[in-house]
Structure 1
Amino acid sequence: MELSCKNPATIADTLTRSVCVTKTQDSALRLTILGIFAGAYIGFGAQLAIMVTHDMASFLGVGMAKLIGGAVFSVGLMLVVIAGAELFTGNNLIFLSVLDRQVRVSKLLRNWTIVYFANLAGSLLLVLLMYWSGLWKTDGGLVGAKALAIANSKVNLTFLQALVRGIMCNWLVCLAVWMAVSARTVIGKVWAIFFPIMAFVASGFEHSVANMFFIPMGLALKGQTAIVTAAGLADKLSHLTIGGMVMNLVPVTLGNIVGGAFFVATLYWVVYLRDEKKV
């Protein structure tokens, strides 16, 4: 009887010798367009989480608000995987193909660089659209206040906090991609993505591409006095600057690479593919 999903060894082989190799062969234009899509798709998930949970903690509690926020945020990676897009954090799995000598390091770095900055462009595009939409004024500006509070909390993390949260985040994100490759149906891919993404968001881990939306959205709202007042952040936004964003993205990005390229790609390669290379 055929299994309804691929086994882990088959997932490792499929990613290493097919999916990840193909990603490094795409043109710069294709990677850029698909990268912009991914940045926007993750931004849609982030915006949805803000909208849904902006006042939820007051009547359901912080834990339930985080759980529901994570649940709705997962739509972002569903769009990336099922509709098709190039996401930097998911592409950390390309390291599988480097270890297997299917892809050169230069090809890996080319993919990561193009996709990372395309993700940033897509995220910033969505920030502009959301700002111009005025939806941050919803519920008397409390939606905007929630967005501002999220951004401010991220730029006030220490380097170590951001790094470690980034590691744990992409460990789960890459496992979501890993399991989505296992699934043979669309609904199977949806559920494979849902639980790990819900877990990372609810846990408070840090995702570099999500932060490319969260922090610029906060920056866009920083000058809105009513929003700052509603958030209770007057005189508390000194770190919410472009420099503060960079100081968050650097450790979070490094952590994401460790989480995806080491804890998922490297260790699964050792388990399932390393011995094959010795034969």
Structure 2
Amino acid sequence: MDYVKPAEVLETMIETGTSKANLNAFQLLIRAILGGAILAFATTLAFTAVTQTSIGLTGAIIFPVGFVIIVLLGLELVTGSFALIPLSVLERKTSLGRMLANYGWVIIGHLIGCALYAILYDLTVTKMGTDMQNPLAKMLIQVSEAKTLGYKKLGFDGMVLVFIKAILCNWMVTLGVVMAMTSKSTSGKILAMWLPVLTFFAQGFEHAVVNMFVIPAGMLLGAIVTMSDWWLWNQIPVLVGNLVGGALFTGILFYFSQKTFKRSAAAHVHTGAKDVLTPVPAERRGL
């Protein structure tokens, strides 16, 4: 059958996390550069749909196309790995150091890929810098400022708000990664992962990799945002929030919901009349 049961999905999550942790730096960089650029493509596609229809939900319906491409091609998305590699660490199939190294290299790759696309896209929508009236250019500036200065104006409350929105975002994004594992067919994987990604984008939650494109792209177009505004009021808290949302609410909680732990030396036997505890013979316990 096409459907994969949750217990099998958990095993796939652990295996995938281990495989990602074992990739070398060069592979991680290339896959992350491509992953960041493709997600940036999907972001501008979503923005195009919104400007053309004036309906925000159209962008959310279209945006998952980038996520689908990344997952099906086995590219890197650090927000997805936030839910997978910690499980490999829990199972002692990789180390904390390898996990952190993976995250570091992938984040660097995302920044490169997103910056490359931001430069090329900005040149495109402004006709090589000669026309700043394009609605998409204005939208990028507005979004860039809203994602940084909007939180800055709220002070401490803004920092808490962006952190919460990042948690909620990656709870859904990592569910998209996991849902793709519930099917063996390409069409099933696409449909399964589309739903949670649409859910996060439609509600305006904060995704670290999307922001690695949107905020610099807006800055290049003239948004009044500094590097400290970008990193302090968005990128750092969003990365941390995405980590919490993915690792805790998807990875760890799903792990404990499905993991079968070994019982103690006493085996539970059902007699029909009542339950009794029967000691396991020494030879079966390896004694």
Change in CA separation of 1:49 and 1:124 when aligned onto 2, cut-off 3 Å? same
One-letter identity of the residue aligned with 2:144: A
CA distance in 1, matches of 2:219, 2:167: 25
- Letter matched to residue 60 of structure 2: G
CA RMSD of aligned residues (A): 1.9
- The 1:98/1:67 distance shift into structure 2, 3 A limit, reads same
Equivalence map 1:172-191=2 (5 Å): 172-191=172-191
**Structure 1 segments of 4 or more deviating over 6 A?**
136-139
- In structure 2, C-alpha distance between the alignment counterparts of 1:139 and 1:36, rounded to whole Å: 28
What residue number does 1:61 align with? none
Assess, with a 3 A threshold, how the Cα gap between structure 1 residues 98 and 218 changes in structure 2: closer, same or farther.
same
Letter in 1 for 2:70: V
Distance 1:111 1:277 in 2: 34
Q: Which residue number in structure 1 is paired with residue 47 of structure 2?
A: 50
One-letter code aligned to 2:172: L
Distance 1:119 1:152 in 2: 21
Contact residue 173 and residue 196 of structure 1 kept, 8 A = yes
Q: Match for residue 257 of structure 1?
A: 243
CA contact (8 A) 2:42 2:65 kept: yes
Q: Give the TM-score, by structure 2 length.
A: 0.84
Choose the corresponding residue for 1:106, options 80, 97, 116. Answer: 97
Partners of 1:147 and 1:274 lie apart in 2 by 47
Aligned counterparts of 1:26 and 1:55: Cα–Cα separation in 2? 41
1:203 lines up with 2:217 in the alignment: no
User: 2:26 matched to which residue of 1?
Assistant: 29
Match of 1:91 in 2: 81
Say which of 132, 135, 139 aligns to 1:142.
135
Displacement after TM superposition at 1:139 (Å):
10
Report the Cα offset of residue 164 of structure 1. Answer: 0.3
Judge conservation of contact 1:13–1:273 (CA < 8 Å) in 2.
Answer: no
1:205 partner letter: F
Determine the C-alpha separation between the residues in 2 that align with 1:138 and 1:147.
14
The answer to whether residue 221 in structure 2 is matched with residue 218 in structure 1 is: no
> Deviations 1:210-231 (Å, cap 9, x if unpaired)?
0001101110111xxxxxxxxx
Q: Distance in 1 between matches of 2:50 and 2:5?
A: 36
Amino acid across the alignment from 2:195: F
Bigger RCO of structures 1 and 2 (CA < 8 A, at least 6 apart): 1
Q: Which amino acid aligns with 1:194?
A: W
Structure 1 residue runs of 5 or longer lacking an equivalent are: 58-64, 223-236
Q: Which amino acid aligns with 2:138?
A: A
What residue in structure 2 maps to residue 170 of structure 1? 170
Contact 1:169 1:206 in 2 (8 A): yes
- Displacement of 1:274: 5.8
Q: 1:122 matched to which residue of 2?
A: 113
User: Secondary structure, in 3 states, of the residue corresponding to 1:84?
Assistant: coil
TM-score of the pair, normalised by structure 1: 0.86
Displacement, 1:153?
0.9
Task: Give the letter aligned to residue 63 of structure 2.
Answer: F
Structure number with greater Rg is: 2
Taking every aligned residue pair, what percent have the same amino acid on both sides? 30
1:204 partner SS? coil
Unmatched tracts of structure 2, length 5 or more: 152-157, 266-287
Cα distance in 2, alignment partners of residues 193 and 153 from structure 1: 28
One-letter amino acid matched to 2:3: C
**Distance across 1 between alignment mates of 2:122 and 2:61:** 24
**2-side partners of 1:24 and 1:71: how far apart?**
32
Q: Secondary structure at the match of 1:268?
A: helix
The amino acid that maps onto 2:134 is G
Secondary structure, counterpart of 2:184 in structure 1 = coil
Letter in 1 for 2:88: S
Q: Distance between the aligned counterparts of 1:85 and 1:104, measured in 2?
A: 21
| Counterpart residue number, 1:228 | none
